[in-house]
Structures are given as C-alpha cells and as structure tokens.
C-alpha cells in the first residue's frame, strides 16, 4: 500500500486548482492524494481551517502542513517522485510556463470584474486585461506555431487549463477565432483524460 501524501482542496471552477488536479493524475500520484471540494470566499469554506488564505489549490500534507500556490504544489509533486517532472528547470521552459501563468493571472482579474454588479465594474481594468490577454495570446499563437508547448509539463498544464477556462468560464475573451495554431493545439490537448475528468461547469461569463 503506497503511503498517503495528502489532500488537495479544489473548487470545480478554478483553473489554478485544475492545473494541480491534472498534474496529480498525469504524474501517477492520484492514489496517494485525495481531493476535497471547497467553496470559496465563504466563512464556512472547508479549506479555511487549513489555510487562512482561503484559496485553491491548497494541498494539506499528512503532518498538517498546507501548501498553497500552484507552482509550489507542482514543485512538491516533483519532489515526491512524480513523473514526468512538472516544473521545468531550463530557462525556455520556465519562460513558457511564466508566460501562461501571467496570462491566467490577468484573466482572473478580468473575470473578477465581470462577476461584480455592472455598476461596480472598472472599464479601465477590463480594457487593460483584455489588451494583456490579446498580447499574450498573440505571442502564444506564435509559440505554438513554432512547436512550443509540446512537452507535458507545468507550462502545458497551465496553457490547457487557461484556454479551458476561457472556453467554459470566461468566454468574454474570444481567443480561438484569430489564433488557429492555438485552437488546434487546444483541441488536441483537450483529449487527455486528465483534462476531461476535471472539466469545470459553465459559468455564463
């Protein structure tokens, strides 16, 4: 019986948690890490007794230590012997991963604006994040057309989770129409079982 490693708190809509959930499946640690769904931004959230930050992903280890932040969780999976390794070590891989995480951070800010009542939204923030997303999306189109994001690692997971988020929970960014290489890359990546079994619900945004 393999040693249990911990428990991963997630919410079904979170692209960050989805990156870690997919990683657990892809590196063969699913029988050692259980999953617990939690609400977010809720004083009763199941994750709060384990992490005052209250965000997902949060990985609670057997000794009670709670790891947060997607990249740190991925690094820990690598140290636990997950294969293939998720966190790149060479500059090109790190840059590719950082580029997508930067896109996802911007999309998350944009999405948060759209979840506010209309009169509370900031047009300036929305315009800035739309411009950022378009700029990074164009760079990713060139990257993918040149053969980038071919290896299944943290950058690959972040890209498929981000595009998946923008397909089901942030359709405000119509990323696919003008980016054929990225659209083809996503269609192929989305066939992975780890992507299919972590599909988020539609949000209507």
Ligand X SMILES: N[C@@H](CCC(=O)N[C@@H](CS)C(=O)NCC(=O)O)C(=O)O
Query: Least separation, in Å, of the C-beta of 178 and ligand X?
Result: 26
Among 8, 21, 26, 55, binds ligand X (CB under 6 A): 55
Considering only 53-61, 79-87, 118-126, 167-175, which stretch makes contact with ligand X by CB under 6 A?
Answer: 53-61
Check residue 38 for interaction with ligand X (CB under 6 A): no
Instruction: State the Cα–Cα distance between residues 107 and 130, nearest whole angstrom.
Output: 8
Tell me: does residue 155 bind ligand X (CB under 6 A).
no
**Contact status: 54 vs ligand X (CB under 6 A):** yes
Contact map string, positions 77 to 116, toward ligand X, x by CB under 6 A: -------------------------------x--------
d(CA 126, CA 42): 25
Q: Which helix (H) or strand (E) holds 141?
A: helix 123-145
Inter-residue contact 8 to 59 (CB < 8 Å): yes
Close Cβ partners of 49 (under 8 Å, ≥ 6 residues apart): none
Phi and psi (nearest 5°) for 122?
Answer: -100, 110
CA distance 36 to 24: 14
Q: Is 16 a residue that touches ligand X (CB under 6 A)?
A: yes
Q: State the minimum distance, in angstroms, from the CB of residue 130 to ligand X.
A: 19
The distance of closest approach from Cβ of residue 54 to ligand X in the complex, given in angstroms and rounded to an integer, is 5
Looking at 14-22, 140-148, 154-162, 192-200, which segment touches ligand X (CB under 6 A)? 14-22
**Displacement of CA 138 from its chain's centroid (Å):** 19
Nearer to ligand X, 97 or 179 (CB): 97
Residue 61: strand pairing partners: 6
CB neighbours of 109 closer than 8 A, spacing ≥ 6? 125, 129
Write out the residues near ligand X by the rule CB under 6 A: 14-16, 40-41, 54-57, 69-70, 108
């Amino acid at each position: 019986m393999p040693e249990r490693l911990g428990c991963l708190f997630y919410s079904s809509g979170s692209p960050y948690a989805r990156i870690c959930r997919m990683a657990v499946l892809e590196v063969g640690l699913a029988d050692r890490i259980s999953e617990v769904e939690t609400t977010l931004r809720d004083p009763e959230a199941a994750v709060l007794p384990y992490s005052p930050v209250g965000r997902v992903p949060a990985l609670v280890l057997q000794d009670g230590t709670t790891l947060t932040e997607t990249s740190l969780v991925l690094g820990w999976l690598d140290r636990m012997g997950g294969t293939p390794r998720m966190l790149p070590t060479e500059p090109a891989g790190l840059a590719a991963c950082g580029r997508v995480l930067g896109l996802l951070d911007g999309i998350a800010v944009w999405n948060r604006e759209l979840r506010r009542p209309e009169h509370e939204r900031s047009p300036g923030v929305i315009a800035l994040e739309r411009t950022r997303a378009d700029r990074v999306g164009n760079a990713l189109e060139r990257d993918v057309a040149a053969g980038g994001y071919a290896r299944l690692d943290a950058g690959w997971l972040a890209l498929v989770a981000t595009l998946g988020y923008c397909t089901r929970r942030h359709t405000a960014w119509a990323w696919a129409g003008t980016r054929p290489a990225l659209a083809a890359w996503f269609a192929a990546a989305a066939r992975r079982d780890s992507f299919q079994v972590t599909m988020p619900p539609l949000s209507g945004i």
